[in-house]
Structure 1
Amino acid sequence: MKLIKFKFKNFPFGIFIATVASIFTIWLILNFLTPKIPIFGFHSIIDIENPSEKRLQGSPLPEIDYTKQDLSEFLDYLVRHNFWFLSTQDMYDYFIVKFKQIPPEHLGQKPIMITFDDSYKTFYTNLLPVLRDLENKYGKKVKVVLFINPGILAKGESKTAYNLTCRNLRKGFLKGFYDIQSHGHRHKKLTELNTDELIYEIAEAQVKLRRCTQDLDPNKTVASHIAYPYGASNKKVEEYVSKYYLSGYLYNSRMFKIGWLRSNYQIPRLSVNHSKSTQKLIQMAERALTIKN
């Protein structure tokens, strides 16, 4: 112990600082050069030109909402610039476990994932029309990921309903626009539940989502992946989630870096709200790697 203490005391402070600076510089370079995939996390999509959406009148947008108009502009840019819209299974197959080779038709593209959390009716009333318009305009289909809470889906169609119905989900899924995945049964913070409650929340979500789409999804791609409500997870949550799902998504404003992932159950996502302009999202999207041979 005396020998270690003596060496530390006599270690030149300048060399210590230079070593730390060198390590930090190498880390910055590696971080900059590491190929990345932006995974954007949206919530409700609001049509600011629709007077029937009364909560917008005389009050600012809720923090997590994003406008239909800005989203349309953003997605239009991505389609025109030939981005590859990943599903959760694409991400898992090609960039996480990597047991499939990237198809030739995606060479030269930049991969990106567009996700939406919760069970808002606006995914059907505002988002789906944008996706249809883009397909009609460019002849290309934009697939988005919906992380859904089946326990709070509306039971029937209603003009006043705030949440989606199973029928709404089926329509978007049947047309190939929706990748439907789990967000827990009733959007409870998983880290605060006891074991029985945790198992019910993650298992029941999978059962109900697959029941909703069972005749449309013979391979059970629905509810194979999960996004943690509130972005809250820990080792216990990941342990139980891994028994039902192939991967888990956070909500932590971080970019997905290929080769840096600690676990299939800690996939980072970029948080999006109305304060982030379309141009800002485009700048973030352009940081994605370009697929090469």
Structure 2
Amino acid sequence: MTDNHDSNFVNSPKPKGFSLSLVLGFVIFFSIVNIQYTAPIIPILGFHGIIDAKSNVRNSYPEDMQYLKQDIEKLIEQLIINDYWFLTTQDLYDFFLTKSKKIPSQYQKKKPVMISFDDGYKTVYTNLIPILYKLQKKYGKKVKVVLFINPGSLARKGSHDSIHLECNELREGLRKGFYDIQSHGLNHKDLTKLNRRELIKELLQARTELRKCTHDLDPDQQVASHFAYPYGAHNQQVESYVSKYYLSSYLYNDELLNYGCSKNHYEIPRLMVNRQKSTKQLLEIAETLSLRNNQKGYKDKC
């Protein structure tokens, strides 16, 4: 199994949407020319590992895929200060995609954003949890992040050399209300290259193992209800089988979610975030989109 997303981009289909560096210009341009485009847009940020710039500890996965701990703290703190609503996968599904529930009054004026982390690296426990505790104490705001996990790579309890999370570390983050734990397939395989039996195993066993790890903490079985395609790789067959076991699924394609126009819950776009995407850049995009959404309101017209 490999967790190197970058190495697989070479053989993956090129994103059809706009790159992160172009998104801000795109939004500003359409604001200037006053195009009547009213459907709200939600940024869903896709991270991987978190590295501490002050530490000499390095992991085996590419540094480009590791976001700086100091920068992720700045980003989350500014999102808190600017009154963002940190969406879970179920929030997005209920309130925006299916609209099966009405947005609660306390969230109607907030700006929606989702922060996700793929592959279950241990640093989302060792480096991220302390940040979330710190910010909760400072602002009285609990931030929840989405983890797309491969249970096949969960480390054994007490393992000191693994770069991946242990089940008990997942459980602690869930118990404390910081984690929304979802599936990324059992072993991070390219699902488009599997036969039917292998595909079902990757999808179904991943859900089973994650719910087994968290069973007593998840009475409503919201864990592993949603999915993210490993490498962002999918096709019609993969989508068809994912839809049998999950409520929605996420891409990794550097696009934004226009939820008013999105009809396919199994192709939810995410922005690809790595070391080249600065905190300032991410905040500018989020704030520009939120300003535009507030001006237009939560409308469904495309």
Task: Give the TM-score, by structure 1 length.
Answer: 0.86
| DSSP-derived class of the 2:99 partner | coil
**CA positional deviation for 1:28:** 9.0
| Residues 147 and 30 (structure 1), Cα distance of their counterparts in 2 relative to 1, 3 Å cut | farther
Q: What corresponds to 1:41 in structure 2?
A: 46
Amino acid of the structure 2 residue aligned with 1:111:
P
| Residues 195 and 28 (structure 1), Cα distance of their counterparts in 2 relative to 1, 3 Å cut | farther
Distance 1:30 1:237 in 2: 35
| Aligned counterparts, 1:43-62, within 5 A | 43-51=48-56, 53-54=57-58, 62=63
Q: Which has the larger radius of gyration?
A: 1
Moved runs in structure 1, 4+ residues, more than 6 A?
A: none
**CA positional deviation for 1:160:** 2.0
Q: What corresponds to 1:249 in structure 2?
A: 250
Amino acid of the structure 1 residue aligned with 2:35:
I
| DSSP-derived class of the 1:105 partner | helix
Distance 1:267 1:115 in 2: 13
Distance 1:180 1:155 in 2: 18
Task: Give the TM-score, by structure 2 length.
Answer: 0.83
Amino acid of the structure 1 residue aligned with 2:164:
N
Aligned length: 263
Amino acid of the structure 1 residue aligned with 2:195:
N
**CA positional deviation for 1:258:** 2.0
Amino acid of the structure 1 residue aligned with 2:44:
I
| Residues 137 and 36 (structure 1), Cα distance of their counterparts in 2 relative to 1, 3 Å cut | same
Q: What corresponds to 2:227 in structure 1?
A: 226
Amino acid of the structure 2 residue aligned with 1:44:
G
| Aligned counterparts, 1:1-293, within 5 A | 29-31=35-37, 33-51=38-56, 53-54=57-58, 62-286=63-287, 287-288=289-290, 289-290=293-294
Kindly, what percent of the aligned residue pairs are identical?
52
CA contact (8 A) 1:61 1:274 kept: no
RMSD value, Cα: 2.0
Task: Give deviations 1:97-153, integer Å, cap 9, x for gaps.
Answer: 001000000121100000000010101100111111110110000000000000000
Amino acid of the structure 1 residue aligned with 2:208:
V
Higher-RCO chain (CA-CA 8 Å, sequence separation at least 6): 2
Task: Give deviations 1:194-244, integer Å, cap 9, x for gaps.
Answer: 110000000000000000000000100000000000001111001000010
Amino acid of the structure 1 residue aligned with 2:233:
A
Amino acid of the structure 1 residue aligned with 2:228:
A
**CA positional deviation for 1:262:** 3.4
**Structure 1 stretches lacking a partner, 5+ long:** 1-24
Task: Give deviations 1:152-202, integer Å, cap 9, x for gaps.
Answer: 000122332211000000000000000000000000011111110000000
Distance 2:36 2:202 in 1: 39
| Residues 50 and 215 (structure 1), Cα distance of their counterparts in 2 relative to 1, 3 Å cut | same
Amino acid of the structure 1 residue aligned with 2:55:
N
CA contact (8 A) 1:249 1:268 kept: yes
Amino acid of the structure 1 residue aligned with 2:80:
V
